[in-house]
């Protein structure tokens, strides 16, 4: 049981986390063992993501006046929340873990102030990360540039291989 001071601290801590995180993923974890939860926390920590088991009633109080107030209906049953800056990485780690552990269920979240339902979280998990998107763009630009260069080189080779006599000369 928490005393009044602990509850105030919990509410202010959770309010700050909900207000300052760009990516928030809400999960149900009923049936996961402590070693499984520790493994998930460890994977998330590697990417700067905090995975915290919540106290639903007090968490609902904490999010009342935040950008996350629409998530309050998700806080029913054994709930845990992932707080981070990268929604794609959070959703990916959680969805991959959920595939291997059926007791973890993604139920919703928030990405850059946009509320996500379960399908939205799964869509986010399938998006390329910022680094992957940059690599794809560089690859496309590089391929286009090399194709352009090869086309230009091929044209100039054809022009340089023309015999001098075959060039059209004006009639007299």
Residue 87 pLDDT class (50, 70, 90 cuts): confident
Statement: residue 105 has pLDDT above 60 = yes
Residue 145 pLDDT class (50, 70, 90 cuts): low
Beta-carbon contacts of 110 under 8 Å, excluding residues fewer than 6 positions away, are: 21, 23, 24, 67, 68, 71, 116
Residues 141, 132: Cα–Cα separation, whole Å: 14
pLDDT tens-digit readout, 25-36: 999 999 999 999
For the chain, the structural domain boundaries read: 4-127, 131-162
Statement: residue 117 has pLDDT above 80 = yes
Pick the CATH number of 4-127 from 3.30.70.1730, 3.40.640.10, 3.40.50.300, 3.40.50.620: 3.30.70.1730
* Contact indicator for 80, 54 with CB cutoff of 8 Å: yes
> Per DSSP, what are the bridge partners of residue 106?
27
81 class by beta-carbon count within 10 Å (0-12 exposed, 13-18 middle, 19+ buried): buried
* Contact indicator for 86, 129 with CB cutoff of 8 Å: yes
Q: What value does the mean pLDDT take over residues 66-84? A: 90
Residues 87, 112: Cα–Cα separation, whole Å: 8
């Amino acid at each position: 049981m928490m005393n009044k001071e602990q509850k105030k601290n919990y509410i202010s801590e959770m309010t700050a986390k909900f207000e300052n995180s760009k990516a928030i993923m809400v999960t149900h974890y009923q049936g996961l063992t402590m070693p499984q939860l520790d493994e998930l926390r460890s994977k998330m920590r590697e990417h700067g993501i905090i995975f915290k088991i919540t106290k639903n009633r007090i968490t609902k109080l904490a999010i009342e006046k935040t950008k996350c107030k629409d998530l309050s209906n998700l806080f029913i049953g054994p709930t845990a929340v992932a707080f981070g800056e990268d929604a794609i990485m959070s959703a990916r780690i959680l969805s991959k873990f959920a595939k291997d552990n059926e007791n973890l269920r993604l139920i919703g979240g928030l990405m850059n102030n946009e509320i996500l339902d379960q399908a939205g979280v799964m869509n986010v998990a399938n998006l390329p990360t910022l680094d992957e998107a940059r690599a794809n763009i560089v690859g496309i630009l590089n391929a286009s540039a090399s194709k352009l260069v090869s086309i230009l080189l091929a044209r100039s080779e054809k022009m340089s291989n023309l015999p001098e006599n075959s060039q059209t000369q004006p009639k007299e």
